[in-house]
Amino acid sequence: ETWKFALEEIEGSVQDQYAQRFKELVEERTNGDVTVQIYPYGALGTSAQLTELVANGTLQFANASPGHLATMVPAMGVFNLPYILSAKDEVNKELLTEGSTVYDMLAPEFEDKNLKLLAMYPEGEMVWTTNKEVRSPEDFDGFKMRTMTSPILTESYKAMGADPTPMPYGEVYGALQLKQIDGQVNPVFAIEEMKFYEVSDYMIWAGQQEFTTSVVANREFYEGLPEEQRKMVDEVTTELADFIFEVKRQYAQERLDKIKQAKPDMPMIQLTEEERAKFKEAAMGARDVYIDMTGGEGGEGEKVLNALTEEIKELEGES
């Protein structure tokens, strides 16, 4: 039996590391009854298309990042809100790998779409790469910022003053090169492996948020697995939480060093607390848009947003 697992990222990426380890563990524990076939980004389609291929059963597993997923599971758009997650890495790790907002409130939202949410994990802090120095929402005026395709991201960047341009991952390098966009935002490892730094002039740390992803399975497939295999899949995804967290930490450092080596003169700008505060304040408007998009006041999205905010506070208190 072959289980097909599609990635939104290329070989060597964080998602690839996760899937490779998943493959190893699954094949080991099923004594060769199951083979996991991994499809790196580009082989099958855009992120949104991969999620559809899992939902319709063509694929058994895929990464589905909230940045592209929120059209299908709108409540997941909460992870696209700027400055929503904690500044503490360990807090985000716990929130994503075992938090009740994710697994009790958000996971059921996948089921109607014939998807099963297996795991979430962080991939690294998002950094802007731009063709100009951006230090305030005013600097974003007329600035074409590429975003992932979830509508709440478009709204978030509008709120922060930019002119958002959603497009699939595979088109970003070309769009930067042809100057169809002025910048894009992604974790450092991705900026390195997709070579976005080659066609950008600045890297800017706005302290905005961690890139998050989810791993989904086809729900019927998952529920139809023999009990023993279903448990094994759950155990493997639980075990991978620590592994992938280490990978993402290591990649953030190593890949930044690589960029510095390849382009030593590229300005790397850390926005000050004051500068960040302006973006944070501007981005708050996107929270209302998120609520509107997910059932309005008292609706599902508002509950998720409140629960997530509460949970982060609690976890920050403990850490």
Tokens describing residue 220: 């019927």
Per CB under 6 A, the list member of 121, 169, 196, 279 interacting with ligand 6CS is: 169
Q: How far is the CB of 14 from ligand 6CS (least distance, A)?
A: 7
Could you say which residues in the range 191-220 bind ligand 6CS, by CB under 6 A?
211
- Assess 9 for contact with ligand 6CS (CB under 6 A): yes
Per CB under 6 A, the list member of 25, 69, 119, 148 interacting with ligand 6CS is: 148
Which lies closer to ligand 6CS via its Cβ, residue 117 or residue 315? Answer: 117
Q: Is 206 helix (H, G, I), strand (E, B) or coil?
A: coil
Q: How far is the CB of 277 from ligand 6CS (least distance, A)?
A: 26
- Assess 60 for contact with ligand 6CS (CB under 6 A): no
Cα–Cα distance measured from residue 212 to residue 235, given in angstroms and rounded to the nearest whole number: 21
Of 184-192, 228-236, 253-261, 268-276: span binding ligand 6CS (CB under 6 A): 184-192
| Strand blocks (E) in the chain | 2-6, 35-39, 61-63, 115-130, 144-147, 163-166, 183-187, 202-205, 210-218, 268-270
Contact track, ligand 6CS, 86-125, x by CB under 6 A: -------------------------------------x--
Q: How far is the CB of 150 from ligand 6CS (least distance, A)?
A: 10
Measured CA angle at 179 (ends 177, 180), to 5 deg: 115
Cα–Cα distance measured from residue 108 to residue 110, given in angstroms and rounded to the nearest whole number: 5
CB 4, CB 39: distance < 8 Å: yes
